[in-house]
Structures are given as C-alpha cells and as structure tokens.
C-alpha cells in the first residue's frame, strides 16, 4: 500500500456517459479502434506489468479517498481500459514513476480504473481524458490542474516544481551539465547575489512556469563556463540555436515571455507527444505545413518554412504535419485537404471560435509564407470556409443534400421549414440515425412547406452555424428573421414528426443564431470508441 502524501496527482481517464464533444484532432479512426479492440486485452495486460514495480494500485474509491487525505506523497492515474490515449500515456507515466523511484523520491504513483471508480472521477469533476490534477496536503477542495506535456520528463519536471524549490541551486559544473542534459529545455539564472532583487524576480518567474526546469547559481566557475560576464538568464535547448540569452528590462512578465517564446522549436512537428505543448501554449495562432516526409523537396520546403518562422517568434506558432502518417489523416480532413494536395499551407486561430485561413498561393517559399502571415496579422485575410461542389442530384432524393455553396439558399428559404442533420461520415451515432432520417424524408417529401436535408460538416463549413458535435440537428423555420432552433427531443421518427408538426416547439431547445455549445453533447458509451477525443483547452 502507498505511503502517506502531502502531494497528490490524479491522472483521470473518464468520460461522463452523457457528455461528448467532437474535436477533429485526437479522434482515433474506426480502423485504429478496431485494431485496438483486438489487441486490447494484450495491451492492457502489458501495461499492468509495466506498472507493477513502480506504481501502486488502488481499486476501491473509499480507499482512494482516505489515501488522498492521509498519505504523505501520492499520485493517482485514473484510467479507462478502452481509452487509447490513456494507453499511450501509460508507458510515459510508468517511466516517470521509475525516475522518481531512482531519485529516492517519496512520491508514490498509483493507478485507478475510472470505469470502476466513476464516483471518484465525478467527485473531482473529470469530464475528459486524460485529466491530471494535483492535490497538496490532501486538500481535495482546490486541486491544481496539470498543464504540462505527456512525456515522462514533463511529468517529472512538473512534480519537482510542485514538491521542491522553483529553481534548483547549483554550484558545480557537473550538476549544471547534468541538468542541461536532462531536458529538452532548461533555464539557468546567473546572479552574483542570489538574495538580490533580480534573483527574486527570477524565482517568481520560475514559480509560474511548470513545464521547464529552472536553476540558479552565483558560482564564478559557472559564470566562466557559460561565458557569462554579468548577471543574466540563459535558456538552453537541444534544438535550433542551442541557447538564448535574455535581453531587455528584467521583469517577471518579460522573463515569462522570454521562456514561452523560446521553449518550442521554430517549427514543431505535430505528434501525440507534442500536442499538449502546441495546444496548451499561449500562442493561439498556428500556421501549419502539410508535407510528406518522403517528398524529394521535403528538406527545402521545411527550411523555407523555418526561415519564415523566424519573423513571427512569439506571435505565430509554426507546425509541421507529416501528411503521410495515418493518424494525421483526420487533421487533413479537418482542413479539407487530401494527401495528394500536399504540400500545403493553412492558418488557424484557436480563440473562442476556430477560424481557418488559406493562402492565395500554395507555393512553399519564404516570401509567400511571410506575406500570408503578415496579411493575417494586419487583418487583411478573410476566413476560408470549406465546401464541396453542389451535387447534380442534390434535390432529387427525399433527403436533400446540402453543401457550403447551397446552404444559405436552402436553409434560410423564407417560404419553408427546413430540418437539417449535420453529420460526419465516420460518426457511429450518425450511422445509426441515417435510416430514421431517410424515413423522415420519405414521410415529408410530398409536403412542399417542409424540407428534410443533411450536410457533411467535415467538408462543408457555414459561417452562421458552428458545429461542435455529431450528429447535430437544427431547424430553420420559415420567415425572414433567420431563426435557428436546436432539436433536443427523441431521435425517433415519431419524435421528429411531432417536432415538425408543432413548428419546432415540441422537442426544440432555445433559439440561437450562434449555435449552442453546452447543449450539443452526444451520448457516448465506452464501446463506441470511433468518436472519442482527448479533452484539451483548445483543439483543432
């Protein structure tokens, strides 16, 4: 059994059975899930073995609750056996446990199956997975949300920050070398007076940044070793120029900005491991280069992309996505791209509403990329909305087929009530709804005042309607005021019929021109894995 804990972390892998939102990134494909299902038992057993020596395991929620309050140092990994992203995190979590054990840390890492202990997950407000929460001194009332990456060094660095000083004091060259070698990014403050005002500013800044290890020194030998003639701060990194030296007015805010601007590569490749750093950062404008690594011009294009990135450090994040990787195909789909159309450039903002932009030219040159980004920053670009071409027979069937190019004309027809299903081809719930929706179309096909329609929202986008989950059902009543009513009734032929016959009153939610985020949740059972996602603050 684990020992007592002053510090506790909960890594939670749980989804409320009544909550589901769609996010194009991080959804595993149906094919991937089928493979995972076949290998599930083997993978899960392997992970259990991996955790055996480094991790403690609690199975009963009452025991978990008592341990949190009474044990000195504890960490918990709440997971679901069917969660693909939990499986990806598990080995890194185990490595972190091993590193802490080697260091003689008192922190004990544990594992809990959240599907068995759902009350515990609900108690701490777990809505997505994986979720990491930090508890100090057994205090369950105000947990600290984990926001670092999903690699072992990220977990260890974050724990060190929470259980020790914000910056490690170093006095020997060997200690400095070991620290610099230990992580991708390390910050060292060189101060002759470690009790001075600048040193205090440095420590305050170090306290605010979880994902990067900090150190501080006043030793002359270390000043000489790293060619520091006077007090200063250096960020060491294993990429790009290798080190950055702080310049300018030394304030906490400027120090934080310095670290945030330099801790990521000029160009970062999108992977499951780098995703938390990409989406969890402060830069919410991203330029993406979709490029196959097998291309003969790969290095030339990547070099041009990196050269352009130098002009937008701290303003725009430059991301490379290998267009040949199977797991990245959903990302291409989200941007309306196909593998054969790459290389290609896109820009996206991750503010309250995600907005995508497309350059006029797909030329991967420094000038073209720089010009594209400059126009965005100057507010000269219009959002890019995807649309398929209008099918020749779009209105020849009982259920009309809408695309971006004909949506406005049909949905806001002042003379007709229009009921639309916004779907995704890969969505299991959409597939279940399809025959019912077709029956609804057949029932009302002779009614000239009612239109039953559908639109593939993975390849068609509408500025006036934002879709956050699949399937989403919206009613556009006849009239000039462009009302939109969200359907929230039963998904049965009878339920739909009552809704239509009542003019959108029986089964309708509040009218909303900008779409409803909170109420567009889709029921999700664990076995319906084809629609699962990783819950992050901002995602594509």
State yes or no: is 30 an active-site residue. no
Is there a contact between 409 and 476 (Cβ–Cβ < 8 Å)? Answer: no
Structure tokens at 533: 């996602």
State yes or no: is 13 an active-site residue. no
Q: What are the backbone angles phi and psi of residue 69, rounded to the nearest 5°? A: -85, -25
Whether a cis peptide bond, with omega within 30° of 0, leads into 471 is: yes
Closest by alpha carbon to 86, among 119, 54, 129? 129
Is there a contact between 331 and 275 (Cβ–Cβ < 8 Å)? Answer: no
Q: What is the C-alpha separation between 249 and 283, in angstroms, rounded?
A: 22
Closest by alpha carbon to 48, among 85, 11, 86, 14? 86
Closest by alpha carbon to 472, among 514, 519, 405? 519
Closest by alpha carbon to 343, among 310, 365, 312? 365
Cα distances (Å, whole numbers) of residue 437 to 218, 406, 423, 495? 72, 20, 11, 11
Closest by alpha carbon to 473, among 430, 415, 527? 430
Is there a contact between 477 and 500 (Cβ–Cβ < 8 Å)? Answer: no
Of the candidates 12, 13, 64, 83, the residue annotated as catalytic is 83
Is there a contact between 358 and 368 (Cβ–Cβ < 8 Å)? Answer: no
Structure tokens at 340: 């054969």
Residue carrying the six token digits 């800044």 = 205
Around Cβ 372, how many Cβ atoms within 10 Å? Answer: 20
Cβ neighbours of residue 160 under 8 Å, at least 6 residues apart? 213
State yes or no: is 430 an active-site residue. yes
Q: What is the C-alpha separation between 317 and 346, in angstroms, rounded?
A: 12
Full DSSP string of 417-428: EEEEEEE-TT-H
Of the candidates 64, 86, 342, 373, the residue annotated as catalytic is 86
- 3-state SS of the chain: helix, strand, coil percent to 5? 35, 20, 45
Side-chain-side CA neighbours of 533 within 13 Å: the count stands at: 23
Cα distances (Å, whole numbers) of residue 246 to 191, 200, 263, 319, 422? 13, 16, 13, 25, 50
Catalytically active residues are 83, 86, 427, 430
């Amino acid at each position: 059994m684990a020992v007592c804990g002053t510090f506790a972390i909960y890594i939670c892998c749980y989804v409320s059975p009544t909550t589901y939102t769609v996010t194009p990134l991080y959804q595993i494909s149906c094919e991937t899930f089928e493979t995972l299902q076949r290998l599930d038992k083997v993978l899960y057993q392997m992970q259990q073995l991996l955790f055996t020596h480094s991790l403690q395991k609690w199975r009963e929620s009452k025991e978990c609750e008592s341990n949190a309050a009474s044990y000195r140092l504890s960490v918990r990994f709440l997971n679901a056996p069917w969660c693909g992203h939990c499986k990806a995190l598990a080995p890194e979590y185990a490595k972190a446990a091993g590193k802490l054990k080697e260091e003689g840390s008192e922190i004990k890492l544990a594992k809990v199956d959240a599907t068995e202990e759902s009350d515990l997950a609900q108690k701490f407000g777990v809505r997505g997975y994986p979720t990491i929460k930090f508890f100090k001194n057994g205090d369950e009332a105000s947990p600290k949300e984990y926001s670092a990456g999903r690699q072992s060094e990220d977990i260890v660095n974050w724990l060190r920050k929470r259980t020790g000083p914000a910056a490690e004091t170093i006095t020997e060259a060997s200690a400095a070398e070991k620290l610099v070698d230990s992580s991708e990014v390390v910050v060292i403050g060189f101060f002759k007076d470690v009790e001075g005002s600048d040193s205090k500013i440095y420590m305050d800044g170090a306290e605010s940044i979880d994902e990067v290890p900090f150190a501080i020194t006043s030793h002359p030998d270390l000043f000489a070793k790293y060619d520091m003639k006077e007090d200063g701060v250096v960020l060491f990194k294993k990429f790009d120029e290798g080190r950055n030296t702080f310049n300018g007015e030394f304030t906490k805010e400027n120090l934080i900005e310095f670290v945030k601007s330099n801790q990521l590569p000029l160009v970062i490749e999108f992977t499951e491991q780098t995703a938390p750093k990409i989406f969890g950062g402060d830069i919410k404008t991203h330029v993406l280069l979709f490029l196959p690594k097998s291309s003969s011009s790969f290095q030339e294009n990547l070099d041009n992309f990196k050269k352009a990135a130098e002009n937008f450090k701290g303003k725009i994040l430059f991301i490379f996505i290998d267009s040949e990787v199977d797991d990245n195909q959903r990302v291409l789909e989200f941007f309306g791209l196909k593998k054969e159309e790459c290389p290609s450039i896109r820009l996206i903002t991750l503010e309250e509403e995600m907005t995508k932009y497309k350059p006029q030219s797909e030329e991967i040159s420094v000038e073209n990329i720089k010009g594209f980004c400059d126009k965005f920053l100057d507010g000269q670009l219009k959002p890019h909305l995807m649309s398929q071409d209008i099918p020749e027979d779009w209105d020849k069937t009982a259920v009309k087929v809408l695309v971006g190019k004909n949506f406005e004309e049909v949905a806001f027809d002042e003379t007709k009530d229009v009921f639309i299903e916004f779907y995704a081809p890969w969505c299991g719930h959409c597939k279940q709804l399809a025959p019912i929706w077709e029956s609804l179309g057949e029932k009302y096909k002779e009614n000239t005042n009612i239109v039953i329609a559908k639109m593939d929202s993975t390849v068609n986008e509408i500025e006036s309607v934002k879709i956050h989950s699949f399937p989403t059902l919206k009613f556009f009543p006849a009239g000039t005021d462009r009302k939109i009513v969200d359907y929230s009734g039963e998904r049965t032929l009878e339920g739909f019929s009552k809704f239509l016959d009542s003019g959108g009153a029986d089964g309708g939610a509040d009218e909303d021109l900008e779409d409803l985020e909170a109420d567009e949740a889709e029921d999700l059972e664990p076995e319906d894995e084809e629609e699962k996602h990783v819950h992050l603050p901002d995602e594509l």
